[in-house]
Amino acid sequence: MKPAEQYQRLTHSLHWDPTYVSEDAYIPEEWRTACTMPDWKKFNDPFQILFEDYVRIQAEKEDKFHAVRDAGARFGHIGRVDPRWVEAMKSFNTALTYSEYYNYRGHVRVARFAPAPAIRIASMVQAMDERRHAEEAIYQARDYVKHHKSGFLLPRDRIAFFERHWYFQGDRSFFEDLITTDPIEAIIGTNLVFETAFTNLLFIAAPAAGVANGDFGFGQAHMTIQSDETRHMALGQAVARAMLQNDDTNLELIQDWVDKWFWRCHRLLLAVVGPVLDYFPKVKPISYREAFQRYVVEDFIQGYVSELSQFGLKPPRHLDQALAELEHGSHTIWRDLYASRNSLWFDVHQPTAEDIEWLNEKYPSFDAVHGDYWRAVADGADMQADSLPMVCDICHFPCTFPEPKTAVALPVDYEGDRYWFCSEGCKWIFEREASKYKRTIEPSALLLGDKDPTWIAQFLNISPDGTPLGGTAAPEGYFPAMPVPATI
């Protein structure tokens, strides 16, 4: 049988329209896409991957990854990774492990509820990819725990940071939002915007920095992760194209989703990957701004978005604001991290003279805006934050952008509550879907008022000197009694 015929059997021939149950029982309304297509069965995934090929190719990728890990342990590379890079991994691995797992959950859902058989098969495969990525991140953590003297922790021992520390709430809220969307929005948000425009910053620019600092396992893991993303990107591009080409009523939705996820990705990556490229590593092969220029501006905006403009798609609504933030974003977030360094499990260092020289070269206004801060630190200023930062009600990062002196905080009143946003982009996202984002339990807001340092230490599950205790114990009275919905 030819591959094309096999693929037809795997996708279209396995599809049937339900007759014993109603459409509502088959795909509940909240999981049904608002996009329309004359015939969803006609949509084809450009990769048309067959399960047997998938298994063979992925098995080889895994073999290569584990070969590099083995070599790293056998010949001692892991123990010699530059300590500053390992601190980057403490932060990055915390964000990544859970994010990949969230994405796995999201794609399992798309594989169930997407309207096109080809999207369902591609998403099922993608769910397995995301699961593999999460597991690679866990293996990496294990290697550091075993072979590097840096106090690395397994994910189970630092979950309280991901769940509760302000720095990781941006990541957590991003993925919780992404996996609770319309299934086609999930594809546009994940495959088109996040994976086509932004994950190259994570999985190519960051591994280049890792390799430059001796972390070959990270390099190998992330290059193979990104090789899975090539399949995901192709799906996202094909879905966007098909939606725009086949029914012009889809344009407004696709545009809104591109606008929303562009801003959410920009904020998340600036805050989480910015420091991994600009601050943590001793050897820095590429700045966050340069990587953004290459992958986001040149590839995504001047490539894909401009190609799709023939169907009416416009560049993301808040592109100019994103570009304007690049000059200061990573410096601003590093200052916030430095001020919170006693409640983090990774080391946030004071930039060295070489770091400052590099930062000045890559970011011309660095000295004028951030120079005095680090000179004060060099002169002995403590710069410890005495409270937790005020965070944005959409992205959950501090309202600290573009830079602390000119920080923006925009209010919106909704159903009797006041909400605050760090930017026009986040405010727009809230106003578009306020009922989705209205306030739930949010650690930083709860902690802002009257909590003492002992309570905060207990909350983050760290000892008073900042050592993580592991597990997820919370202080007495933190979780309010909530009724459990009868449907769960």
Partner 1 sequence: MSTKVQRSVVGIELMAGEECDAIVSAVLDDIPHASVVHVPGMVQLDVPDRLVIHASAVENYLGREWDTRDLNQVVSAYRGYFTRWDQEQVVLSWDADDQGDEPHV
Q: Which residues bind partner 1 (CB under 8 A)?
A: 46-47, 53, 57, 60-61, 64, 200, 203-204, 207-209, 211-212, 216, 219-220, 223-224, 226-227, 229-231, 233-234, 237, 241, 285-286, 295, 298-299, 301-303, 306-307, 310
Nearest residue (CB) to partner 1, 212 versus 385: 212
CB 325 within 8 A of CB 401: yes
Smallest distance, partner 1 to C-beta of residue 159, A? 29
Q: Supply the minimum distance, in Å, between the C-beta of residue 223 and partner 1.
A: 5
* Of residues 57 and 73, the one with the C-beta less far from partner 1: 57
Q: Closest approach of Cβ 160 to partner 1, in Å? A: 33
Closer residue to partner 1, CB minimum distance, 171 or 229: 229
| Residue 4 beta carbon to partner 1: minimum distance, rounded to whole angstroms | 9
Closest CB to partner 1 among residues 23, 70: 70
Torsion of CA 122, 124, 125, 128, to 10 degrees: 150
As measured in angstroms, the least distance from the Cβ of 110 to partner 1 is 21
- Compute the distance between CA of residue 360 and CA of residue 369 in angstroms, rounded to an integer: 11
Q: Name the minimum Å distance from CB 247 to partner 1.
A: 18
Determine the Cα–Cα distance for residues 465 and 276; give it in Å rounded to an integer.
Answer: 25
**CA-based torsion, 459, 463, 467, 470: positive or negative:** negative
If 0-12 CB within 10 Å is exposed, 13-18 middle and 19+ buried, where does residue 192 land? buried
- Please say which residue, 144 or 203, places its beta carbon nearer to partner 1: 203
Instruction: Find out whether 332 and 404 touch, Cβ atoms under 8 Å.
Output: yes
Closest distance to partner 1 from the beta carbon of 57 (Å) = 6
Least CB distance to partner 1 at residue 38 (A): 19
227/321 with CB nearer partner 1: 227
Which CB atom, from 212 or from 390, has the smaller least distance to partner 1?
212
Q: How far is the CB of 301 from partner 1 (least distance, A)?
A: 8
CB of 304 to partner 1, least distance (A): 8
Q: Which is nearer to partner 1, 308 or 359 (CB)?
A: 308
Give whichever of 44 and 400 is closer to partner 1, judged by the CB atom: 44
- Closer residue to partner 1 (CB): 212 or 448: 212
> Closer to partner 1 at the Cβ: 230 or 467?
230
* Residues 2-6: contacts with CB under 8 Å, at least 24 apart: 3/48, 3/50, 4/48, 6/50
Closest distance to partner 1 from the beta carbon of 270 (Å)? 19
Instruction: Kindly give, in sequence order, each residue whose CB lies less than 8 Å from that of residue 376, ignoring residues fewer than 6 positions away.
Output: 383
Phi and psi dihedrals of 269, rounded to 5? -70, -40
Instruction: State the minimum distance, in angstroms, from the CB of residue 245 to partner 1.
Output: 10
Question: Which of 231, 331 has the CB closer to partner 1?
Answer: 231
